[in-house]
Amino acid sequence: MRDLDNATIWSAGVYEDAETCLREMLERRDLGQGWQKADFTELAKVAVSLSGPELKNAIDETLRSAGYENGGRRTYRCILLEMKSGDFVFLRDGLCILGIGRILGTDYVYWPGSKVKYYGRFGPVKWYTPSWLKDEQSPVPRQEGICKVEKNRQEAVRMIRRAVAYELDHQQLHLVHRFHQVIIHGPPGTGKTYQAMSLACQLAAPDGGRPEDPVDAFKKLREKECCEIVQFHPAYNYEDFVRGIKASTVSKDKVQFETVNRIFGRMCHDAAKNRDQIYVLIIDEINRANIGAVLGELIFALEYRDVSVTTPYTVKGRAEIKVPKNLYLIGTMNTADRSIGYVDYAVRRRFAFILMPPDRTVLDEYYSLDGGEGDAKVVLKREALELFEQVGRLFVVPKDSSEPSLMTMDYSADDVQIGHTYFMAKDREHLGLKLKYQVVPILREYVKDGVLQHLAEGTINELEHKALSLLESRSEHGG
C-alpha cells in the first residue's frame, strides 16, 4: 500500500438513494459522480495534455453542451486530472460515511446504466465498508461533489488504517471459518503470534470485535478456558499434545499411572460439551516439532470433523476421539528457520496458509502521531522507517541481472526479510537497542548461514554504527 503520509485523501458526496449508489460502486468497483448527460469520454483521453485554463474551458464547454450552466467544474477537474492511483476517497451521504475507497486506477467511463444517474464512473476503486463505519463521526467535510481532505487529516488517516486492518482480519477470519485450521507464516518479527491472538479473540469472544489489546483479551479468554496456546519444540510429541500417561504419587512408596487427555484432547472434550462456544487453540512455532508425529491419527480427524478416530490410549473407558466443529486451530510458523521441522504435504492439505510479510503500513500505524517536523516522536518515526527501508533493501533482487544481489538465490524475501516489529520503539534508545542487539545479530547470522552474501556486510556494519549513534545521542541527553 502506498504510504498514507504522502497519499491524497478525498471526500465525495452522494445525494440520492445512498444505498443504491454504494451497491453500484461495490459491484462495479468504481466511483460514480457527475451529471447524467455530461459525457467526458473524449476529454478524459486528452485531459493530462491540457493546460489548466484549457482544461477549465473544455470542462465548461462539455457541461454547457449537456445543458448544465453552473457547477460541476471542480468535480470533473478532480476526476480527470487530480485524483491518482494510491489516493483514498471517503464516500459520504451527508455526514454519514458509506465507505472508504482506495483508488487503483484512473480510467473514466460513461455508464448510462446507473439507476442513480451517476453516469460518470472513475476507477477501479477498492472499497472498504466495515460495519462500524456508518456509526463513526465523519472526519471529512460536508461539501458537494469532490474535494480534498485537509482539515482533520490525521483522524481520516487513522480511520483508513482501521478500515484496512478490519478488512484484512475479515479475510483471515473467513479462512479460519472455512478451513477450521490455518497457519500464519512469515519471517521473524512480523507479528504472527500477536495476529493469532487477535483472530482467536474475534472468534471466541462474545462480541466478536477486534480487541484493542489482543494479548490482554486473549489472557481473559484463557481464564474462561475457551482459548489456549501451546508452543511446539523438537522434543514435543503426541503424548504431550493429544493423550498420554500421567504418573502421580499415591503414597510414600506407590506411584499411580493413568491415561489422560493432554491439551488438545481436553479442548476436544470441552468443545464437544459446549457447542455454542467457539474454542481456539494457538500452536506457536508449529513447525518446530514433527507435526505429523505429534498429530498422529488426528490428521484425519482435523479434516473430518465430528468423526471418531481410535487413539492408542483409552481415557475414561473410551479410546475414540473426535474433533468438534467448534474447535479451531491457528498455528504460527517462522519461515526463516530451515533447521526445524518440515511440514509434509498431508499436513499442509489440512491447513490454510496465511502469509504475514514485513509491512511498512504497520509501522505507519504504530507511529501515527501529530507533531511538527522537529517533534521527537516525528523524528523517531522517520528514523525507524528509514532503517526499516534500509534493511529491506538487503533482500531486494535487482531487476538488472548485471547488478549483484545481496540475498542468495536459494531464499525468498517473503521467508527471511526482517519484520516490522523490530522497528517499533518507544524512543531512540529503544530503537538503538533493538537494532544493535536484535536486527544486526540476525543479519550477521544470515551471512554465516548463506542467506545473505558477504557483500551485505558493509550495510550491516553501517546499521551497527547507526545503532551506536542512537544509543550515544540518548546518553548525551541524560538517558
Q: Are residues 59 and 121 in the same domain?
A: yes
Among 297, 324, 355, the domain-final residue is 355
Q: Are residues 349 and 385 in the same domain?
A: no
Among 125, 148, 171, the domain-final residue is 148
In a domain, 157, yes or no: no
Question: Which range among 88-92, 156-160, 277-281, 344-348 has the greatest average pLDDT?
Answer: 277-281
145: confidence class by pLDDT, cuts 50, 70, 90: confident
Residues 261-318: pLDDT tens digits? 999 999 999 999 999 999 999 999 998 999 989 999 999 999 999 999 999 999 999 9
Q: Are residues 375 and 334 in the same domain?
A: no
Q: Are residues 187 and 327 in the same domain?
A: yes
In a domain, 168, yes or no: no
Lowest mean per-residue pLDDT among 2-6, 159-163, 202-206: 2-6
In a domain, 170, yes or no: no
Residue 329 reports pLDDT greater than 50: yes
Q: Are residues 31 and 113 in the same domain?
A: yes
Residue 355 reports pLDDT greater than 90: yes
Residue 339 reports pLDDT greater than 60: no
The pLDDT value given to residue 35: 64
Q: Are residues 202 and 140 in the same domain?
A: no
Q: Are residues 100 and 227 in the same domain?
A: no
The pLDDT value given to residue 328: 97
Q: 345: domain CATH number?
A: 3.40.50
In a domain, 4, yes or no: no
Q: Are residues 139 and 258 in the same domain?
A: no
In a domain, 410, yes or no: yes
Q: Are residues 333 and 370 in the same domain?
A: no
Average pLDDT over residues 228-234: 95
Q: State phi, psi for 230 to the nearest 5 degrees.
A: -140, 150
Q: Are residues 315 and 434 in the same domain?
A: no
Q: At 441, which amino acid appears?
A: P
In a domain, 365, yes or no: yes
Q: Are residues 344 and 225 in the same domain?
A: yes
In a domain, 71, yes or no: yes
Residues 364-409: pLDDT tens digits? 878 875 444 557 788 898 999 999 999 999 999 887 777 888 998 8
The answer to whether the pTM exceeds 0.75 is: yes
Average pLDDT over residues 180-207: 92
- Domain, as residue range, for 381: 360-476
Average pLDDT over residues 178-187: 94
Among 305, 326, 355, the domain-final residue is 355
Q: Are residues 398 and 346 in the same domain?
A: no
Domain count, the chain: 3
In a domain, 167, yes or no: no
